[in-house]
């Protein structure tokens, strides 16, 4: 599996950054490859992405979520096998570090080469820069889901 870890510091309080991140249907505004996310239920999302001109669809389930701290997920069905976690670290009352860790399985030669030369790292770094621009220009979150999902809890 390929692994990516990237961080960005955003000039908003930790609760604002976290709350925005829980608004999965807003991801197409700042994640370049995401065309649509449809929230199926409190912990399940259906994704439609286009990466390198190839459209893929998959479902994810939230495996752990703690307000203002972390959101972890894994794919459970579809074209993409991956898992990840985003963590939120309070730097000050008005600044937060957002860190994304993503593990994914490259499925073909193009994806394997892309991972080997760091295209996945570059994409995540760009998406985090887009998130920074989005949340700082908004000034507040577009919504929030403050539910708590314990590891191993049923979805």
Q: What is the mean pLDDT of the chain?
A: 89
**Residue 146: inside a domain:** no
Distance CA 85, CA 63 (A): 9
**Residue 150: inside a domain:** no
- Tens of pLDDT, residue by residue over 24-38, are 999 999 999 899 999
| Number of structural domains the chain divides into | 1
**Residue 115: inside a domain:** yes
- Tens of pLDDT, residue by residue over 41-89, are 999 999 999 877 888 899 999 999 999 999 999 999 888 888 999 999 9
Which CATH number belongs to the domain containing residue 115 in this structure? 3.30.530.20
pLDDT band for position 152 (cuts 50, 70, 90) = confident
**Containing domain of residue 57, as a range?**
2-138
Beta bridge partners of 44: 61
**Residue 148: inside a domain:** no
**Residue 151: inside a domain:** no
Check residues 116 and 52 and name the one with the higher pLDDT: 52
**Residue 153: inside a domain:** no
Q: What is the pLDDT of residue 121?
A: 75
Sign of CA dihedral 30, 5, 82, 72: negative
């Amino acid at each position: 599996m390929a692994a990516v870890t990237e961080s960005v510091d955003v000039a908003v309080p930790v609760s604002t950054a976290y709350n925005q991140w829980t608004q999965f249907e807003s991801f197409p505004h700042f994640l370049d490859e995401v065309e649509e996310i449809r929230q199926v239920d409190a912990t399940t999302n259906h994704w439609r992405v286009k990466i390198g001109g190839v459209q893929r669809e998959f479902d994810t389930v939230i495996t752990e979520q703690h307000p203002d701290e972390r959101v972890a997920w894994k794919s459970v069905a579809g074209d993409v096998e991956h898992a990840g976690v985003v963590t939120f670290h309070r730097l000050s009352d008005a600044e937060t570090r957002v860190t994304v860790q993503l593990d994914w399985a490259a499925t073909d030669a193009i994806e394997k080469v892309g991972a080997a030369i760091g295209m996945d790292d570059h994409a995540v770094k760009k998406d985090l820069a887009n998130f920074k621009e989005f949340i700082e220009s908004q000034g507040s979150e577009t919504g929030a889901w403050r539910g708590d999902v314990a590891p191993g809890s049923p979805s």
